[in-house]
Chain A
Amino acid sequence: MSVIVLIEHSSGNIKKKSFEAVQYASEIAQRLGTSATAVVAGSVADSEMQKLGEYGAKKVLHVPDERLNNLHTRAYCRLLITAARQENSEVIVTLHDVNGRAIAPRVAVALKAGLVSGALSYPDLDQGFMIKKSVFSGKAFAFVKVTTAIKVIMLVPNTFQLSKTTGSVIIEKLSVPFEDKDFAIKVTEVNKVTGQIPLADAELVVSGGRGLKGPENWGLIENLAKELGAATACSRPVADAHWRPHHEHVGQTGGTIRPNLYIAAGISGAIQHLAGVSGSKTIVVINKDPEAPFFKAANYGVVGDVMEVLPRLTEAVRKFKENHQ
């Protein structure tokens, strides 16, 4: 009966957004009168898995197979399906991220379960399992009803605030009947951007547009980002002109992000750009043109030259941090 939740970790450290998923799954479980079971794959220490109890999980099913340290999606599907069948689960939760998005839809098909991608709310049980999601690039919300007995939900990271409680978990091994084809994809090279905060998961993001004039001025963006502990992003023309790497480009054709804070410097706020950032909780816009469309989507605005405003803001953040240690 329990609610199953898939855990992601990086070299054995459980990701923060997975704690959020556990908290989400536990809350659903509680409302359904059951408990949450976390599924962990690969090399993770028991002490690390114990932390899942602090977010409401009652049980952990661990598949210690080392091959699972790489994200083989079919293997992950099989282990989720195995766990779901063993636990007789009616709800399976993953994250709506590059990993969850490759796994959850397959699991849904295998279990003939209705799938809600991009979930932004708890299921409304009075309405027969209805969940809110963002559609049309943030221009509307849709309320999706799942009509099947088993439901698969992909939760958008950074939707709910984490709150730790006390609680412990029972850790059990899960044995999964893997097949060769589950590991058929060979990973031949991995390139991780080191020393930087991955944009997709960042809570704070500083982003620059054509108003920065050229790559030589990106130090202004990077300094502010560093002071804040933020990731950096950019508008599409900036990536197209190779001022910044492509993975930083956000918008309709780039990444979609929902940080707590998005600072947009020298970006006009075209609708295709907003499509990727409109889910941000707080938006700060710095632009010398008071008519720039971005101000309409902003919470805080500074009408001024980025070359002057960015260093001042960086200095203000530095001072703030000094006083708040």
Chain B
Amino acid sequence: MKVLVCISQVPDTVTKITLKDNNTAVDENGVTFIINPYDEWYALVRALELKEAGIAEAVHLITVGKVNTEPTIRRALAVGGDEAVRIDADSNDPYVIANYIAEYAKAAGYDLILCGKESIDYHSGAVGPMLAELLDADYIGFATSIALEGGIATVKREIEGGEETDSCALPVVISCQKGVAEARIPNMRGIMSARSKALKIITPTPVPELIAIDHYEMPPQKAGVKLIAPDQMDELVNLLHQEAKVI
């Protein structure tokens, strides 16, 4: 049983976003990049647990990104995993990313592909289901727990207003969120051993983008908070009714 974990690099939530080139691009100067939290904390760690439990033989990582994403995939290897591949390309179109991953995954043959529920930059959550379609595999989204036995995946996933348990034969693509695993902090041994792990770099056959970002806009400044005295709750309710029109 081989597991592939999809890792994307994203700006840290706490970094400030500024625009450049007439608002057509994000200024990456001074932006701290991290492993997408859903990929690191949940997808990757669950894959490692499956290996530690003797259920998975190998855990491979994959990222689609230019050379500037290499520190991020190395950091992911420090958390764990046997080897990694970086597809040397960059795109904001999940269709393109999914095609590159699918091409690699088809050739290598994985039983389980784990990704995050969404990347925290563009919030598409589209790479996982697209990958499943390209591989003609099943897809289970928003998983909160994943168990494997005898080639069957038993997955709890978020549904509207609750949770459902699905069972499905491998291969399957699953997107992970909180609950699937507990985040791990890479230790010194992990960091040291990551250096000697294989990182393959593949130049893909280019896939044309189906969407393009035209420009960005910063959200309008909030008008400023209106303070209401703690003993004037009738006034607050009136404001919510008459001014904000939300009740």
Given contacts A143-B217, A252-B120, contact A313 B160 (CB under 8 A): no
State whether B130 touches A109 (Cβ < 8 A).
yes
Instruction: Write the B4-39 contact mask toward A (1 if CB under 8 angstroms, else 0).
Output: 000000010110110100000010000000000110
B122, closest chain A residue (CB): A135
B203-225 interface with A by 8 A CB criterion: 209-219, 222-223, 225
Q: Judge whether A101 and B129 touch: CB under 8 Å.
A: yes
Tell me the complex Cα distance, A249–B139, Å. 25
Residues of A with C-beta under 8 A to B154: 188
Instruction: Check B246 against A296 for contact (C-beta < 8 Å).
Output: no
Contact with B along A288-320 (1 / 0, CB 8 A): 000000011111111111001100110111011
Whether A142 contacts B213 by the Cβ 8 Å rule is yes
Residues of B within 8 A of A312 (CB): 230-231, 233
Verify A298–B225 contact, CB threshold 8 A.
yes
Given contact pairs A137-B13, A184-B169, A102 touches B124 in the complex (Cβ within 8 A): no
Is A102 touching B139 in the complex (CB atoms < 8 A)? yes
The CA of A147 and the CA of B211, in the complex, are separated in Å by 6
B95 touches A115 (CB 8 A): yes
Q: Give the contacting residue for A187; candidates B138, B144, B164, B239; CB below 8 A.
A: B164
The verdict on B228 contacting chain A, using a C-beta distance below 8 Å, is yes
For the complex formed, measure the closest distance between the CB of A316 and the CB atoms of chain B, giving whole angstroms.
4
Q: Which residue on A lies nearest to B223, using beta carbons?
A: A299
A140 at the interface (CB under 8 A from B): yes
Inter-chain contacts of A315 with B (CB < 8 A): 233
Query: Is the beta-carbon distance between B120 and A275 smaller than 8 angstroms?
Result: yes
Given contacts A113-B210, A185-B168, A316-B236, contact A140 B161 (CB under 8 A): no
Contact between B122 and A140, CB atoms less than 8 A apart: no
The chain B residue with its CB closest to the CB of A278 is: B219
Does B123 make an interface contact (CB < 8 A)?
yes
Write the nearest CB–CB distance from B190 to chain A, whole angstroms: 22
- Contact among A109, A191, A284 with B95 in the assembled complex (CB-CB below 8 Å): A109
Residues of B within 8 A of A204 (CB): 246-247
Asked whether A189 lies within 8 Å of B165 as measured between CB atoms, the reply is: yes
A301-B226 in contact (CB<8A): yes
Check A98–B141 contact: CB distance below 8 A.
Answer: yes
- How many B residues have CB within 8 A of the partner chain? 80
User: A residues 110-145 with Cβ under 8 Å of B?
Assistant: 110, 112-118, 127, 130, 132-145
Q: Is the CB of B138 within 8 A of A185?
A: yes
Considering the chains assembled together, what is the distance between the CA atoms of A264 and B93 in angstroms?
A: 35
Pick the interface stretch among A29-37, A164-172, A195-203.
Answer: A195-203
> Chain A 78-98 against B: per-residue CB contact (8 Å), 1 yes, 0 no?
000000000000000000011
CB neighbours of A134 from chain B (8 A): 123
Contacts of A299 in B (CB 8 A): 222-223, 225-226, 244
Q: B247, A261: Cβ atoms under 8 Å? A: yes
CB-CB under 8 A from A98, the residues of chain B are 141-142, 158-160
B140 and A201 form a contact (CB under 8 A) = no
Are B211 and A247 touching (Cβ within 8 A)?
no
B13–A101 contact, CB under 8 A? no
Interchain nearest-CB distance for A312 vs B (Å): 4
**Residue-by-residue, is A259-295 near B (CB-CB < 8 Å gives 1, otherwise 0)?**
0110000000001100100000110110000000001
Q: Which residues of B contact A300 (CB under 8 A)?
A: 225-228, 236, 239-240, 244
Interface residue A73 (Cβ < 8 Å from any Cβ of B)? yes
Query: Which chain A residues border B114 with CB–CB below 8 Å?
Result: none
CB contacts (< 8 Å) of B141 on chain A: these are 73, 98, 101-102
List chain B residues, Cβ under 8 A from A139.
16-17, 218-219
Residues of A with C-beta under 8 A to B225 = 285, 295-296, 298-301
User: A78 → chain B, closest Cβ, in Å?
Assistant: 11
Q: Are A140 and B228 in contact (CB under 8 A)?
A: no
Q: Which residues of chain B in 125-176 are interfacial with respect to chain A, using CB atoms and an 8 Å cutoff?
A: 125-130, 132-134, 138-142, 144, 154, 158-169
Known contacts: A106-B129, A301-B225. The answer to whether A147 contacts B209 by CB under 8 A is: yes
The reply to whether the CB of B61 lies closer than 8 angstroms to some CB of chain A is no
- A74 within 8 Å of B (CB atoms): yes
Q: Let me know if B234 is at the binding interface, CB within 8 A.
A: yes
Taking a contact as CB atoms closer than 8 A, the residue among A110, A117, A147, A316 that contacts B212 in the complex is A147
Is A254's beta carbon under 8 Å from chain B?
A: yes
Q: Can you list 29 pairs linking A and B with CB atoms under 8 Å apart?
A: A10-B160, A73-B141, A101-B125, A102-B141, A112-B210, A115-B94, A115-B124, A117-B123, A133-B122, A133-B123, A134-B123, A135-B122, A136-B11, A136-B121, A139-B218, A140-B217, A143-B215, A186-B168, A188-B165, A188-B167, A200-B160, A249-B178, A254-B178, A271-B14, A275-B13, A300-B225, A309-B230, A312-B231, A324-B241
Q: Which residues of A contact B (CB under 8 A)?
A: 10, 71, 73-74, 77, 97-99, 101-106, 108-110, 112-118, 127, 130, 132-148, 181, 184-193, 196, 198, 200-201, 203-204, 228, 246-247, 249, 252-254, 256, 260-261, 271-272, 275, 281-282, 284-285, 295-305, 308-309, 312-313, 315-317, 319-320, 324
Query: With A185-B167, A188-B165, A191-B163 given, can you name 6 additional A-B contacts, CB distance below 8 Å?
Result: A102-B139, A105-B98, A117-B94, A134-B123, A135-B122, A140-B216
